[in-house]
Amino acid sequence: MSDPRPQGHERRSFPRPPLWLNLLLLIIAGATFVYAKHQRDVIEEKTAILFRHTANSPVELNRMRDELSQMDLTQAQLKQEIDARMQYLQSQQSAQFYISIDTQRKKMQFRFGRDIVRETDVQIGDAKTIKSPTGKTWTFLPLKGGFSVTGKEDGASWPVPEWVYAMHGEREPAERRVVPNGLGRYVIFLQDSYVIHSPPPPESPSQGPKPGSFMVPEADLAAIWPRITNDTRVYIF
C-alpha cells in the first residue's frame, strides 16, 4: 500500500551554534549591559550633585543646574556638559589662573580661584561643515569640556588655510595669501586647532569668530596675555 502523504522536498535543518559561541554572546551582552549601567550610574551621581538645590548652594551652581535642566541633550552630550561644569567648579577651589567660557551667557571670564579677574563678551563661531569644490570637507563642532592651552601667538602672520577659500566657494591658489594678524593679533590655541582669538583685521578673509572657536575683544586678551601659559586651563560649558 502506497503512502498517501504528498512527497515534498526534504526539510534541511541548520546546525545548532556551538555552546562556546552561545556563551560568548551571553558574556558580551552581559558586559555591554554592565558598562551601560555603570555609565548611567556615573551620570546620575554627577547630576545628583548638580541638581540638588539647597539654601546654601552658591548662586552660580544653582544657575548651572537650571541651565542643564532646560537643555535637550543626549546622554553623551549631558555627560560632556556635566564634566565641563564639574571641572570648572573644582577649579574654583584652586589657587590658579584659568579661563571659563559660558556659551549660554556668551561670557568669558579670567579667574583666580573664585575671584573674577576680568569678564568680557565672547562671540562663538558657528558649528559647520565646509566643503571645497574638490570635495574635501572640514567639520567644526561645538567645543565643550576642560582643556589646556597648547600655545599662543602675538602678532603672527597667518597663511590663509584651505578651508577659508572653500568657505568662500573658491579654489585654493597655488600660493596661499599670508595675512599679518590674520586671525587677530592675539591667538590662544586649544586642542584640534580650536582657538580663542581677537578680531581679525579688515583685510583678513576670515571675519568674525573662526568656526567652532571663540572671539573676544583685543583689549581683554591683551590684559590677561602675560598670565596665559601652557599650564592655563580653559573650561567651556
- Is residue 126 within 8 A of residue 144, CB to CB? The reply is no
- Cα(225)–Cα(223) distance, integer angstroms: 6
Nearest to 189 by CA among 223, 230, 161, 150: 150
Q: What is the pLDDT of residue 18?
A: 66
Residue 48 belongs to a domain:
yes
- Cα(212)–Cα(125) distance, integer angstroms: 5
Q: How far is CA 208 from CA 15, 18, 68, 131, 151, in A?
A: 65, 62, 28, 19, 21
Mark whether 141 and 83 lie in a shared domain: no
Q: What is the pLDDT of residue 170?
A: 87
* Grid cell in block for residue 171: 579654489
> Is 50 exceeded by the pLDDT of residue 19?
yes
Mark whether 84 and 147 lie in a shared domain: no
Domain membership of residue 171 as a residue range: 123-236
CATH code at position 226: 2.40.440
* Grid cell in block for residue 124: 562663538
> Is 50 exceeded by the pLDDT of residue 9?
no
pLDDT: which is higher, 100 or 59: 100
- Please give the model's pTM, rounded to 2 decimal places: 0.64
Domain end marker among 91, 107, 135: 91
Q: How confident is the model at residue 1 (pLDDT cuts 50, 70, 90)?
A: very low
Residue 106 belongs to a domain:
no
Mark whether 52 and 136 lie in a shared domain: no
- The total number of structural domains that make up the chain: 2
What would the pLDDT profile of 138-196 be if each residue is shown by its tens digit? 999 988 889 999 999 999 999 999 999 999 888 889 898 999 999 999 999 999 999 99
